[in-house]
Structures are given as C-alpha cells and as structure tokens.
C-alpha cells in the first residue's frame, strides 16, 4: 500500500517536468524556441484577422471554413504556445516575446476565451516588469485595450498570490492606467 502511494506522489512530483515538453511538442518548439513561438503567434493573428473579416462577408462557406481552421489552430498550436510564453515571461523579461503575446491578446479581444487575459494576469503577478514595458510601447488605444484585459485577467488569478504581492500589483496596475 505504501509503495503505491510513493508511486503516485512520485508521478505527481514529475508531472510538471513531463508536461512542459508535452506543451512544447504541441506548440512545435522546445524550451529555447522563442522565435518559433512568435511565428505561431503571427500565424494565429493572421488567421484570426481573416476569420474576423469573414464574419461580415456574404460567403458563409468561407466563414465556416475559417472558423473551423481558426478554432483548430488555436487549440492545437496557439494556446499551447501562449502557455509556453507565459511560463517563460513569468520567469524572465523578453520584450520581443511579450510584444508578440500582447499582439495576440489584441487580436483575440473578440474571443470569449478567458485564458489569454488570465495568462497576462499570471505574468503580471509573477514578473510584472516582463509585461509593463511592452505595454507602454503600444499605441494609446492598444494600451487601453491591453490594460483592460490585464485588469480582467489579474482579477481572475490574483487569489493565487500573497496579500503583499496583490497590494503591490494593484498599485502598479493603477499607475499603468494613468
């Protein structure tokens, strides 16, 4: 009986080590593949922008095809890469990666998926400098949009952080909004 408990505990302890390479495999990158992640982001944005245009066009077949293609790409490539980027940016600054991630958030503002704002909130909670600088480089309208997404995501994830971090991030978020 104790031997089985040990196996379960060992498996649970190794799960994070196993899961990152699986995410990376789905994303098509390894731990060092920031450029590949950015390429996936650009492809996702391009596909999403084409999909958004198709909503207003009269060709319903094209709309359905782009919707299916976009949803599949998001699930199989984009979101796993967003998770990988979140892991990277939660630990270190990478302005190029952060900028590309913010561009995804801007493009996908039409999405009902709350994962993207939550990932921004997670990065902000763990490593705010990784995201604050790139936000300030956006146009004013994009800054406002991203800050609103960040507020939403931070509200969803802040309970995972200590009261001291929450207080500090609230101050930073207030300053960012000025």
Q: How many domains does the chain have?
A: 1
Residues of the domain holding 71:
2-176
The CA-to-CA distance between both ends of the chain, in Å, stands at: 59
**pLDDT tens profile 40-64:** 999 999 999 999 999 888 888 999 9
- pTM value surpassing 0.85: no
The predicted pLDDT at position 57 comes to 85
Lookup: tokens for 62: 């094209």
| Beta-carbon-side half-sphere exposure of residue 69 (alpha carbons within 13 Å) | 17
């Amino acid at each position: 009986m104790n031997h089985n408990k040990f196996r379960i505990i060992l498996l649970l302890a190794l799960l994070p080590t196993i899961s990152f390479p699986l995410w990376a495999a789905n994303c098509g990158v390894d731990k060092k593949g920031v450029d590949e992640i950015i390429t996936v982001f650009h492809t996702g944005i391009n596909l999403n922008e084409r999909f958004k245009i198709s909503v207003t066009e009269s060709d319903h077949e094209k709309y359905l095809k782009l919707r299916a293609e976009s949803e599949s790409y998001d699930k199989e490539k984009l979101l796993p890469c967003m998770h990988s980027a979140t892991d990277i940016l939660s630990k270190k600054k990478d302005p190029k990666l952060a900028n590309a991630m913010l561009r995804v958030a801007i493009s996908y503002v039409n999405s009902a998926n709350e994962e993207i704002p939550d990932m921004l909130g997670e990065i902000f909670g763990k490593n705010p400098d990784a995201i604050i600088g790139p936000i300030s480089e956006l146009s004013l309208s994009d800054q406002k949009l991203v800050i609103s997404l960040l507020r939403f995501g931070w509200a969803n994830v802040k309970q995972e952080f200590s009261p001291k971090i929450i207080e500090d991030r609230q101050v930073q978020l207030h300053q960012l909004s000025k």
